[in-house]
Amino acid sequence: MSEKILKSMLTIVFLGLLSASVQAAPVILGWGGEEIIKVADFPNTEEFENGRGEYFDAGYVYKQVTIFFIPVWNYDGKWVGYVGEKNGYLQLKKAELDSMAAKANVRLPETPSLPFWDSIGGKLVFGLILLLYLGWKFLSASTDVQAEAPVEEA
């Protein structure tokens, strides 16, 4: 089997494995997906209850750029009231949350720490994949040059 066909087949298999399910199309680039994290717990009292009877905590929501579900960039972060749902939060400003935190004897950090995967881990994995790809291309190019070199007759 030729090397080009083998490379094409491996690429197709790799892309197929990265899709989330058989019914979903593989997403190569994701832009603007929101992630939310809980930064601090507030007590479950009436002061920290939204209009629907749910208690909220201090949270932080941010958007991500992903390549093959690997987060490579986080942007547009803001403080919110974390309700406990994936995409559920209250629009609150940092000053409002600081005031509520003071009532609850909770100290909020100036900047929240994002999960390792979102802040560093995804970038490391993406960089490693890129280095492996570039190394593979360099090695395959050097073997092609050696294979094409004419053989000198003595």
Give me the sign of the Cα torsion angle 15, 19, 22, 24: negative
- Angstrom distances, CA of residue 2 to CA of 8, 62, 78: 10, 46, 52
pLDDT tens digits in sequence order for the chain, 154 residues long: 566 766 765 666 566 555 444 455 566 878 878 899 999 999 999 889 888 888 999 999 999 998 888 888 899 999 999 997 666 899 999 999 999 999 999 999 999 999 999 888 888 988 898 899 898 888 887 776 665 656 566 5
CA 61 to chain CA centroid, Å, is 13
Q: What is the pLDDT of residue 138?
A: 84
Domain boundaries in the chain? Answer: 26-132
Which residues, other chains included, contact 153 with Cβ-Cβ below 8 Å and sequence gap of 6+? none
| Helix runs in 24-154, H state only | 94-103, 116, 122-148
Give the pTM: 0.66
